[in-house]
Amino acid sequence: MRPLSMPRYCTAMLGFIIQRLLQSVGVMLAMSALVFVGVYAIGNPIDVLISPDATQDIREDVIRRYGLDLPLWQQYFAFLGRLLSGDFGRSFVFDIPVLELVLARLPATLELALASVLIGAFIGIPLGIYAGYRPEAASSRAIMAVSVLGFSVPTFWVGLLLILTFAVNLGWLPAGDRGPLVEVFGIGWSFLSAEGLSYLILPALNLSLFKLAMMIRLARAGTRETMLTDTVKFARAAGLSEFTILRRHVLRLISIPLVTVFGLEFASTLAFAVVTETIFSWPGVGKLIIDSITSLDRPVMVAYLVLVAFFFVVINLVVDLSYALLDPRLRRGRAA
């Protein structure tokens, strides 16, 4: 197979990008339809838009304004139009625009998710490479046992154990809330002060557990395979130290699948943040959605679902595109 000339390669890439973009739009439309049917059509839409203690005049006004007397498909398009202009309605509980509410909570969740993804990468990958490098060692078996537990034990239970051990019994770390925030560009962050960081450690560790387990498995499997290849044999013959081989050759070869899984995992991290935030009363979006479900604050539910679907679609798109750019086989395969 001959590599493509530059213009033909660009056309192929462009076609691929357009195809994936259209697909993403399709997924977003499907998700919004699901959310619409789920929250608007099954539940009473009036409950979604007006608080229960509104007067009859306001009710009728809102019904007319949001076109609730129109057929369902027309309502769906109106719903889409409102979403596109960023109008998610007002929260019943907080009485502020939902978008504002969600955006105000978003930094806390992003901070937590990023911290846990970093823990997963910087602890999980070295451990996994080690376990793959010495698969028979007792320490490697211990690492694998931890990763099995990380996969099967529910997140909330690990969170409880972390609180019980480090917050209640040992009293080393706080559990609950974000601690003091340092403001940068008007947004507060926990990780910028030492005290704030101590509030971040336990929830981030809890949320990272699943990713840690997965990174260990992937890195181990990749390393075991790579260690048998000619690349490693030649590197050894060239007199490179084992550490250099692992860092320069093995790590580089196993990084492509790791990056992909990583990107995809970020979306599920946001989802699992729901559990972690509830246990550690971390004031992020995940805690907001649980609170809004229990208090039937439906506009917030809709906004959260659309937002997560959007995140999920965008991340999938970015991962697919960067994969196509990174992996030369995919490039050529597409043209052939």
Partner 1 sequence: MKSFWREYRENWVAVVALAVVVLVVLAALTAPIFAPQDPYDLAILDLMDARRPPGYVGSGEYTHWLGTDAQGRDLLSAILYGLRISLQMGLVAGAVAMTLGATLGILSAHLGGWVEALVMRVVDLQLSFPAILLALVLVAVLGQGKTQLIIALVAAQYAYFARTAYGAATAERQKDYVEAASATPLPSWRVVLRHILPNCLPPLIVVGTVQVANAIALEATLSFLGLGLPPTEPSLGMLIANGFPYMMNGRSWISVYPGIALILLIVAINIVGDQIRDQFNPRLRK
Are the beta carbons of 166 and 202 closer than 8 angstroms? yes
Q: Does 293 bind partner 1 (CB under 8 A)?
A: yes
Q: How far is the CB of 142 from partner 1 (least distance, A)?
A: 14
Specify the residue, 41 or 54, whose C-beta has the smaller distance to partner 1: 41
Distances in Å between the Cα of 222 and the Cα atoms of 23, 229, 250, 322 are 31, 11, 8, 20
Specify the residue, 224 or 332, whose C-beta has the smaller distance to partner 1: 224
Q: Does 48 bind partner 1 (CB under 8 A)?
A: no
Specify the residue, 255 or 278, whose C-beta has the smaller distance to partner 1: 278
* CA pseudo-torsion sign 181, 184, 187, 189: negative
Residue 2 phi, psi dihedral angles, 5° rounding: -95, 135
Q: Which of 289, 303, 306, 307 binds partner 1 (CB under 8 A)?
A: 289
Specify the residue, 315 or 335, whose C-beta has the smaller distance to partner 1: 315
Give the pair of three-digit tokens for residue 285: 């979006």
- Interaction mask 251-280, partner 1, x per CB under 8 A: -------------x--xx--xx-xx--xx-
Measured between alpha carbons, how far is 120 from 312 in angstroms, rounded to an integer? 20
Are the beta carbons of 71 and 149 closer than 8 angstroms? no
Residue 146 one-letter amino acid: V
Residue 183 phi, psi dihedral angles, 5° rounding: -85, 125
Alpha carbon 326 to its chain's center: 22
From the list 88-96, 211-219, 246-254, 290-298, the region that binds partner 1 by CB under 8 A is: 290-298
Specify the residue, 167 or 181, whose C-beta has the smaller distance to partner 1: 167
Residues in binding contact with partner 1, number by CB under 8 A: 38
Q: Which of 73, 294, 329, 336 binds partner 1 (CB under 8 A)?
A: 294
* CA pseudo-torsion sign 118, 119, 123, 125: negative
Measured between alpha carbons, how far is 256 from 108 in angstroms, rounded to an integer? 29
Specify the residue, 291 or 327, whose C-beta has the smaller distance to partner 1: 291
Contacts of 100 (CB under 8 A, 6+ apart): none
Are the beta carbons of 98 and 105 closer than 8 angstroms? no
Distances in Å between the Cα of 310 and the Cα atoms of 116, 284, 297 are 21, 18, 20
Q: Does 231 bind partner 1 (CB under 8 A)?
A: no
135-194: contacts with partner 1 (CB under 8 A) = 148-149, 151-157, 160-161, 163-164, 167-168
Specify the residue, 162 or 232, whose C-beta has the smaller distance to partner 1: 162
Q: How far is the CB of 318 from partner 1 (least distance, A)?
A: 13
Candidates 212, 218, 204, 203; CA nearest to 146 is 212
Q: Does 43 bind partner 1 (CB under 8 A)?
A: yes
Q: How far is the CB of 83 from partner 1 (least distance, A)?
A: 17
Q: How far is the CB of 278 from partner 1 (least distance, A)?
A: 6
Specify the residue, 150 or 196, whose C-beta has the smaller distance to partner 1: 150
Are the beta carbons of 156 and 275 closer than 8 angstroms? yes
Site residues for partner 1 per CB under 8 A: 27, 38-39, 42-43, 148-149, 151-157, 160-161, 163-164, 167-168, 264, 267-268, 271-272, 274-275, 278-279, 289-290, 293-294, 301, 305, 308, 312, 316
